[in-house]
Structure 1
Amino acid sequence: MDQRYRQPVTFILLFGALQCVSGSIGGWEAKPHSRPYMVSVQQNGTHYYGGFLVADQWVVSAAHCYTAQSSPYKVLLGAHSLSDSESTKQTFTVASIHSHPDFNITRNFDNDIALLKLDGRASLTQAVQKVSYKRVSKDVPEGTVCSTAGWGWINNVGVKPDKLQEVNVAVIGHKTCSSRRYHGSKITGNMMCAAGHGKDSCHGDSGGPLLCNGLVEGIISFGGRKCGRPMKPGVYTMISHYRDWIDAVMNQGSKY
């Protein structure tokens, strides 16, 4: 099983690339609060995973992040810097975690999606906003340039940024990504792949969004043992395949 998104003893989880430029591997620091839907999921004040706000009390993230829980999760909204005292920040406790019932980390990362219900409703401001996600199951054309963001590693030795990073990646076709030279049989019909030359998401970005043409298309799931390696692109859960499940959980949360 790929260990890329398991939590090391002293590090966090996310995507990255081989070369450290100034942001997500191969990326750069985002303009402050230009991605107001971004979420930092934290334990004991430390960033561990990503996510994104889709309703005033609901965050989408990745199921593999929540297979074990040693202390309550907190959700930080409205942040650019994790350490600075920004007046835009809003913090909530995660009241309940709803992982997809067909996700099984011991088998593969298929259905790697989770919904986090907050213990309160976010106040929508210029720095805190919901993001729209794809609700029609249609593949994104190969080569489409998309973007992702997070507070994950910016290189393969665990350097972590304080400020939100972003990177552009291009969609890789399903046939290519599921070939033996790439990820092979790990790739299911619920996944899409994207990367660039030395550009990737990395440890600590898991659960964050992949946006194409202004809509969330994917959720950061897994990748190669090292971020940004050729033929081991980032893999994303296709959110459009889970539209009905998302609606059901948010409308009848306790049953799911």
Structure 2
Amino acid sequence: MFRLLIGTYLPFVLSALWAAIVLRLIAREPRYALPVLVVALIWIVPLAIARIRQRRLLMRGNVPEVLEAWAPVLQTTPYPETIQPLLVATAYAANGWIEQAREAVRRAKKGEAWSAADEQRRIVDTLLEAFDGDRERAVRLAIEFDKLPLPPVGVFLRRRISALRAGLGALARAFARTPEPGDRRLLIAAAKSSPLFHWAFSYAAAIVAIDDGDAKAARRAIAGAPAWPTASVFRAFHQELEQQIARIEAIRSA
């Protein structure tokens, strides 16, 4: 019974506590509103619902479903004309929906919240450039992003944010074909800890594995991927990676 009560009520207690912390933080430092909100959407909100179901939702690649689940939070964001489109763009970019992400960014109002949303814009820009743009610029953006000060949150969230930043750096280098030692490990860890960005990091890990000639690791990285719609560049990525994996396997078996 004790475990049942904990499992039933703890998510709501934690959500209430998180809400109180966020309100105090935003009141003192409004510029941290967006980074903290993003953390809430990616990691804290799932505590208020079934965690496993939420993780599966974020990893299905169905962005409209994700946005529907986020709707209650999106409707209460500060500066909605700026922040809502940027969060929508994040969901699209994380799943390879490039044109939809760019359109969402174009809808964001360039008002007083625009500069405060610098961190979120860097995430979106890094993904878009890495997937379908200037990949050297994506590497530069990731370096700049990693140097930004962390928001004043707890140790757990700081670790999550640091993992996301490290993962984005490794992702940008993977797509630029300039990986560093340890990048594959960073990408695998980031994929596990960031369900929204899971497939972005997984495809980057597969690229590094292919460059290393490790077909088994590449196949593991993309195993279980959803059937991507034509709107997502991940559809083409997946097909190309499958071909590269098959080529390496054929060479090894010859």
Quick one: higher RCO (CA 8 Å, sep 6+), 1 or 2?
A: 1
The structure whose Rg is larger is 2
Q: TM-score, normalised by structure 1?
A: 0.27
Larger strand proportion of the pair: 1
Q: TM-score, normalised by structure 2?
A: 0.27
Larger helix proportion of the pair: 2
